[in-house]
């Protein structure tokens, strides 16, 4: 295998290692954008994810890339939405000559973009979003770049899912810790056991119309007299 053959493979491996090494969701998203630009040679990139069952623009590398992705949502058409629907890569060689999304093509052309590579984020069974790379050049994403993008999107999908899962676990652990602390406060103040303290905490959260963990944090931070 020649050095030229090793190039894309090595870059992809470096990108994968960098993505999995990020500590949280915002950092992972930032890296997803940065590595996508490096691997594809694009001029802008945006990430669209399903939120509450509807697609929304999560982040972008530039205001122009964000507006290009938002144009898909306002026009209800575009390669990112199609990539999400078909769970595959969608290539636009020239937005001026592509007849598929006339309503979306004009605003994207006005932003200075001529070609697009949209990649599905998710699994082979479901799509949670799309990564769209925009270029000012016509035909910027040939077959090799598109295939590299497909491989990268798989790594990006796993990294994003892992970061979101880890973030959820960390948040759950923090909430459980706060609830335990609040139980301890109530046990000491009222001379009750753990079960009674949890029941009091739950009742207090219901009375205040807040989540259990939120009321727990309020009790921890409250003055000794504010326990009810």
Which residues are within 8 A (CB) of 196 and not within 5 positions of it... i.e. 6 or more apart? 187, 190
In the chain, list all ranges with CATH 1.10.10.10.
169-221
CA pair distance 184, 212, nearest whole angstrom: 15
Specify the pLDDT at position 193: 84
pLDDT of residue 115: 96
Domain 169-221 classification at class level: mainly alpha
Residue pointed to by tokens 């509450």: 52
- 192/184 Cα distance (integer angstroms): 10
Specify the CATH architecture of the domain 3-168. Answer: 2-Layer Sandwich (3.30)
Where are the domain boundaries for CATH 3.30.450.40 in the chain? 3-168
For the chain, 228 residues long, give each residue's pLDDT as a single digit of tens.
Answer: 333 344 566 777 677 666 766 777 778 888 888 888 888 889 999 999 887 778 999 889 999 999 999 999 999 999 999 999 888 899 999 999 999 999 999 999 999 999 999 999 887 677 788 999 999 999 999 888 888 888 888 888 888 877 766 655 556 666 777 788 888 888 888 988 878 888 888 888 888 888 877 888 888 888 554 444
pTM of the model: 0.67
Query: What's the CA gap between 147 and 17, in Å, rounded?
Result: 19
Helical segments of 47-142, H only: 63-75, 79-86, 102-110
């Amino acid at each position: 295998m020649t050095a030229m053959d090793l190039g894309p493979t090595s870059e992809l491996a470096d990108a994968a290692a960098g993505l999995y090494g990020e500590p949280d969701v915002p950092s992972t998203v930032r890296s997803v954008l940065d590595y996508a630009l490096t691997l594809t040679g694009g001029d802008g990139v945006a990430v669209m994810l399903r939120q509450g069952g509807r697609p929304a623009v999560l982040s972008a590398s530039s205001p122009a890339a964000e507006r290009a992705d938002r144009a898909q949502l306002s026009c209800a058409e575009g390669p990112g939405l199609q990539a999400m629907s078909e769970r595959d890569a969608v290539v636009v060689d020239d937005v001026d000559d592509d007849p598929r999304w006339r309503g979306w093509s004009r605003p994207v052309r006005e932003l200075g973009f001529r070609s697009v590579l949209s990649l599905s984020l998710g699994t082979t069974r479901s799509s949670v979003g799309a990564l769209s790379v925009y270029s000012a050049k016509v035909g910027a994403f040939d077959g090799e770049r598109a295939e590299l993008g497909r491989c990268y999107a798989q790594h990006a999908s796993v990294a994003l899912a892992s970061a979101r899962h880890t973030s959820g676990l960390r948040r759950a652990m923090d909430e459980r810790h706060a609830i335990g602390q609040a139980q301890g406060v109530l046990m000491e103040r009222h001379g009750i056991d753990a079960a009674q303290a949890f029941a009091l905490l739950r009742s207090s959260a219901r009375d205040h119309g807040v989540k259990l963990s939120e009321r727990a944090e309020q009790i921890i931070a409250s003055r000794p007299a504010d326990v009810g």
